[in-house]
C-alpha cells in the first residue's frame, strides 16, 4: 500500500473530526503509519470544518492532505471548496442531504443521503459522522470492517457504542452497494 489521503469536510458540529480520528485509529490498528489533523473556526457549531487523514506505510512528514484520494463533503460549501474541482481519479462522496447542487462527474462519484438515512434509521442526526465513516472506509478499500469497528468502539463517547455500530454497519453497506455497477445493486 503506497498510501491514501482522505479529507472529511462539512460544518462544525457534524462530528467529522471524530470520524477522522476513528479512521486514523483503525489505520493504527491495521499497523499503518497515520497522521490526522484538522482545521476549524473558533465556533463550536457551524463554520467550515475540515478533518484530514493520511495513511501510509512510509514515514509521513507533511501532515496536511495535498492530493486527496478520497473526499467526503457534508455541506454545499465543503463541496464547493474541496469537491467541485477534485481530480476525477479521486473518489468524491457527498451527503445528498446537504449537497444539492453538483457538477456532473464521470466517475468516482457517490451522492448518498447519509444524514437523511441516519435520521430515519436511528431517529436523529447523531452518528451521521459514523455512518459517513462507514461509507468512506468501505469505498477506500484500505481497512477491514473489523478494524473500523474496533476503532469506533475505542473512540465512541460513552453510551453511544450500540448506536454508532449500527450507523457504521449501514454506512459500510451503503458504501459497498454504491461501488457496484448500477445494474448489480441489491444483487449481492
- State the nearest-atom distance from the C-beta of 53 to another protein, in Å: 9
- State the nearest-atom distance from the C-beta of 26 to another protein, in Å: 9
Looking at beta carbons only, is 17 or 74 nearer to another protein?
Answer: 17
Cα–Cα dist 23/38, whole Å: 13
Looking at beta carbons only, is 108 or 150 nearer to another protein?
Answer: 150
Give 3-state DSSP helix, strand, coil % of the chain, rounded to 5.
40, 20, 40
Q: Are 164 and 96 in contact (CB under 8 A)?
A: no
- Residues in contact with another protein by CB under 8 A are 21, 24-25, 28, 31-42, 60-64, 66
**Partners of residue 20 on adjacent β-strands:** none
- State the nearest-atom distance from the C-beta of 28 to another protein, in Å: 5
User: How big is the CA angle at 58 (ends 88 and 175), to the nearest 5 degrees?
Assistant: 40
Looking at beta carbons only, is 64 or 103 nearer to another protein?
Answer: 64
Cα–Cα dist 16/29, whole Å: 20
- State the nearest-atom distance from the C-beta of 63 to another protein, in Å: 5
Q: Are 118 and 131 in contact (CB under 8 A)?
A: yes
Looking at beta carbons only, is 63 or 124 nearer to another protein?
Answer: 63
- State the nearest-atom distance from the C-beta of 65 to another protein, in Å: 11
Looking at beta carbons only, is 53 or 117 nearer to another protein?
Answer: 53
Amino acid at each position: 500500500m503506497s498510501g491514501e489521503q482522505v479529507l472529511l469536510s462539512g460544518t462544525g458540529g457534524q462530528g467529522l473530526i471524530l470520524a477522522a480520528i476513528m479512521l486514523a485509529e483503525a489505520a493504527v490498528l491495521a499497523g499503518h503509519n497515520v497522521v490526522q489533523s484538522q482545521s476549524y473556526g473558533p465556533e463550536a457549531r457551524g463554520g467550515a470544518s475540515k478533518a484530514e487523514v493520511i495513511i501510509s506505510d512510509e514515514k509521513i512528514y507533511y501532515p496536511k492532505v495535498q492530493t486527496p484520494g478520497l473526499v467526503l463533503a457534508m455541506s454545499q460549501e465543503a463541496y464547493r471548496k474541496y469537491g467541485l474541482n477534485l481530480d476525477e481519479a479521486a473518489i468524491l462522496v457527498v451527503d445528498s442531504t446537504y449537497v444539492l447542487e453538483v457538477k456532473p462527474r464521470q466517475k468516482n462519484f457517490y451522492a448518498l443521503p447519509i444524514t437523511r438515512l441516519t435520521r430515519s434509521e436511528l431517529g436523529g442526526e447523531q452518528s451521521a459522522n459514523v455512518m459517513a465513516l462507514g461509507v468512506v472506509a468501505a469505498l477506500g478499500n484500505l481497512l477491514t470492517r473489523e478494524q473500523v469497528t474496533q476503532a469506533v468502539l475505542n473512540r465512541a463517547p460513552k453510551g453511544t457504542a450500540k448506536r454508532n455500530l449500527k450507523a457504521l454497519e449501514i454506512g459500510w453497506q451503503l458504501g459497498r452497494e454504491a461501488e457496484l455497477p448500477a445494474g448489480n445493486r441489491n444483487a449481492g
